[in-house]
Amino acid sequence: MKQFVFAVLIVFWACQAPKNKDAAAMVERIPEVEALLAKMTLEEKVGQMAQVTLDVITVGANQFHSDEPLQLDMDLVRKALVEYHVGSILNTANNRARTVETWHEVISQLQEVATKETRLGIPIIYGVDAIHGTTYTAGATFFPQQIGQAATFNRQLVRKGGEITAYETRASGIPWNFSPVLDMGRDPRFPRMWETFGEDVYLTSQLGIELVKGYEGDNNDISDPTRVAACLKHYLGYSVPVSGKDRTPALIPEIELRERHLPAFKAAIDAGAHSVMVNSGIINGVPVHASYELLTKLLKEELGFTGLVVTDWKDIENLHDRDKVATSQKEAVKLAINAGIDMSMIPYNFDFCNYLVELVNEGEVSISRIDDAVRRILNMKFKLGLFEHPVTHYNDYPLFGSEEFVQAAYQTAVESVTLLKNEGNVLPLKKNARVLVTGPNANSMRALNGGWSYSWQGEKVHEFSQAYATILKAIEDKIGKGSVVFHEGVRYNNDARYWVDEVVDIQATVKAAAGVDYIILALGENSYCEKPGDLHDLSLSENQVALVKALAKTGKPMIMVLNEGRPRIIRTIEPDVKAVLQSYLPGNFGGLAVADILFGEVNPSGKLPYTYPLFVNSLVTYDHKPSEHQARMVGVYDYESDFAIQYPFGFGLSYTTFEYSNLTLSSDKLQKNGKLEISVKVKNTGDMEGKETVLLYTSDLFASVTPDVKRLRGFEKINLKPGEEQTVSFSLTPEDVSFINAQNKRVTEPGEFVVRIAELKAEFTYVE
């Protein structure tokens, strides 16, 4: 039966996919690399395909732990690099950030052994997750997490963030970054939603390109010592498991995979990204690490990806231990390498090397597959300039942690903050206001930063972020300590597995509100990452709801500042507050950004990169099908199950007002191979300077596959002074309004389309 399903799958893919090319033949032949390859033994080749974590080669090494202060155990280093020829090391030791000096020392020592004590002197490649700044380097510049970056809708800021992160990662001696995340943030239950650019395909594709170019440079010349190699992850369809829990099975039909999940990867590959990390999960019953269809046929052949494909953490072992598709560890290695994996993030032992050598000797894995994998790895090392300069030196990076970088991170944070409600224009507050600041997120740098901040779960943030302002501190700095009363009310229990919170003293908090003009509620989530962030209930915690309900009785105007990685349900308390500010996970400058917006020094300009749900059972995205609106469609009933959300995708208020007019199309027809020019006038009709993101949507009115109600096709962020007007232009091609049809082919079908910008709309017809 198994074989039958496999055969059907192969036939299915062979029929559907465009003509595939020979993946290995497409990989560049670099003479220096070819010369090396020709000299390498099988063991040396296999070693290049192995990656272990730093804790494996440090003094006191024991999986997640090693002794402090960090010191390499040179015997273990030699075992890895000389005996096993290991080609790559990742991660920090002891799950802790290090200074640039320590990084330099550690990586120099490793390169010394790799280049001087091995037969061929091939440098190792070091990789880390520098996903919102250089995660594991003390003093590095931290940006908002990707979900906040998406809310800025600002391509320049995202690119600048990528450039700075690349620079500071290289200042730490590290040339490879496991970023960007191009998974789609389409399910708020997923604990890694905040690592994504949100739910929209176009926004994710556009910002993904910016991060790749920020990391690798305009022409992807990664020999430039201020650039790093990007790693697109987690290919493919990682973020939508059925249960919402990390690394649990997903069911994604090919039509959906190609419509929503593939485009951002394709765009980033076309933008030249050098590496890809594989989805740790299971799609339609097949672990992606064992999927020849997804790794070789789709990624390497159809998309023409010629870079390096690395596994996620321990995921070859997971084929046996967790997913049960391999009866032994050895079979797991065979499945993965034959599926198209080039490098294994093993990361704790060297068994992979032994098994793979045996498999090649037994004819179970071909030497041409090994050569292809090693060529891809060595090509990247060569392009990074590692053969000439195995390690960069922090002294050559004077801008590390500079004021210029801090400004960029602050600007990204402040442009991400999204004003979702402002009843009676309660915001901005006057600086002579007296406020009660409360809630578990009020005085926490950890919550502002989220996971992947100085440590995996973000639990070590307080040790490294002393110099930065929490929301509370930033408000105190702004209006004076004397005008601020602070009562936490509820706090996170940092020792609890699911980062639960507990009541401190709600009654005391209510009492403290007596003398103030406003209550600022800083609510949301503590930091978390991956599996430990799995949730059983998307609702905001009961304790936080209780705090808001108790304070509501005071009748004081309340402002809710959300600081959360995914939209927790706030339906029952939202009516109690006058204003809502979403800050996502804004990083070290988030406190400052929130205070500047609360007190009107900056006009908010963020927009939601996802649909904020109203109910736990109604998780929909903006690009849903028309049938989500059935109750209203028939116009008679008002079914309780009808489309209901808290705030829409793309929503975000300003302290000024913008008026849209003159939506103009260059023609009412879009021809095959043609282009439609679209323009609109936007005017600042209020009295404060402000930034506005102009969003262009299209709707395909009828199609052979039920069309989405609308799709984002363009965005531009502009700045307007009071009274100022600007014309914003977009262009649309037939490809821009295409979709995947029932045969899994990308098509644009003739017919009518509607263009929408704000409340304006116009129509055109696509003709072939």
Rule CB under 6 A: which residues touch ligand BGC?
91, 129, 178, 233, 277, 280, 312-313, 530
Residue closer to ligand BGC (CB basis): 443 or 455 = 455
3-class DSSP state for residue 201?
helix
Residue closer to ligand BGC (CB basis): 186 or 330 = 186
* Beta carbon of residue 54, minimum distance to ligand BGC (angstroms, whole number): 11
Task: Give yes or no for a contact between 400 and 168, defined as CB atoms under 8 angstroms apart.
Answer: yes
276 vs 633: CA distance, rounded Å: 44
Q: Distance of CA 29 to CAs 269, 305, 371, Å?
A: 19, 15, 12
User: What token pair was written down for 256?
Assistant: 């959906």
Angle at 155 between CA 154 and CA 159, to 5 degrees: 120
* Beta carbon of residue 313, minimum distance to ligand BGC (angstroms, whole number): 4
143 vs 160: CA distance, rounded Å: 10
User: What token pair was written down for 42?
Assistant: 């099988």
Task: Give yes or no for a contact between 120 and 158, defined as CB atoms under 8 angstroms apart.
Answer: no
Residue closer to ligand BGC (CB basis): 182 or 433 = 182
Q: Which amino acid is at 307?
A: G
Tell me: cis bond preceding 69? Omega within 30 of 0 counts: yes
* Beta carbon of residue 370, minimum distance to ligand BGC (angstroms, whole number): 24
Q: Distance of CA 317 to CAs 84, 289, 501, Å?
A: 18, 10, 35
Beta strand 711-720 with 751-757: parallel, antiparallel or unpaired? unpaired
| Chain centroid to CA 683 | 33
264 vs 269: CA distance, rounded Å: 9
Catalytic residue among 129, 312, 342, 372: 312
User: What token pair was written down for 153?
Assistant: 């809708």
H runs (alpha helix) in 495-579: 506-512, 542-552
Helix/strand/coil (H/E/C) assignment for every residue in 40-69: CCHHHHHHHCEEEEHHHHECCCECCECCCC
594 vs 561: CA distance, rounded Å: 8
Beta strand 658-665 with 645-647: parallel, antiparallel or unpaired? unpaired
User: What token pair was written down for 644?
Assistant: 């209901």
Categorise residue 314: left if φ over 0, alpha if ψ from -120 to 50, beta otherwise. Answer: left
**CA nearest to 264, candidates 228, 238, 301:** 238
Q: Is 342 a catalytic residue?
A: no
Task: Give yes or no for a contact between 195 and 146, defined as CB atoms under 8 angstroms apart.
Answer: yes
Task: Give yes or no for a contact between 147 and 565, defined as CB atoms under 8 angstroms apart.
Answer: yes
391 vs 496: CA distance, rounded Å: 40
3-class DSSP state for residue 349?
coil
User: What token pair was written down for 158?
Assistant: 């995202």
* Beta carbon of residue 312, minimum distance to ligand BGC (angstroms, whole number): 5
- The DSSP call for residue 194 is G
The sign of the torsion formed by the CA atoms of 47, 48, 51, 52 equals positive
Task: Give yes or no for a contact between 332 and 315, defined as CB atoms under 8 angstroms apart.
Answer: no
230 vs 706: CA distance, rounded Å: 36
Tell me: cis bond preceding 180? Omega within 30 of 0 counts: yes
H runs (alpha helix) in 229-283: 254-256, 262-270
User: What token pair was written down for 588?
Assistant: 């070290």
3-class DSSP state for residue 171?
helix
- The DSSP call for residue 72 is B
**CA nearest to 188, candidates 234, 144, 245:** 245
566 vs 537: CA distance, rounded Å: 12
3-class DSSP state for residue 533?
helix
**CA nearest to 586, candidates 707, 465, 724, 722:** 465
* Beta carbon of residue 246, minimum distance to ligand BGC (angstroms, whole number): 8
294 vs 288: CA distance, rounded Å: 7
3-class DSSP state for residue 296?
helix
The sign of the torsion formed by the CA atoms of 241, 244, 246, 248 equals negative
Query: Which residues are the active-site residues?
Result: 312
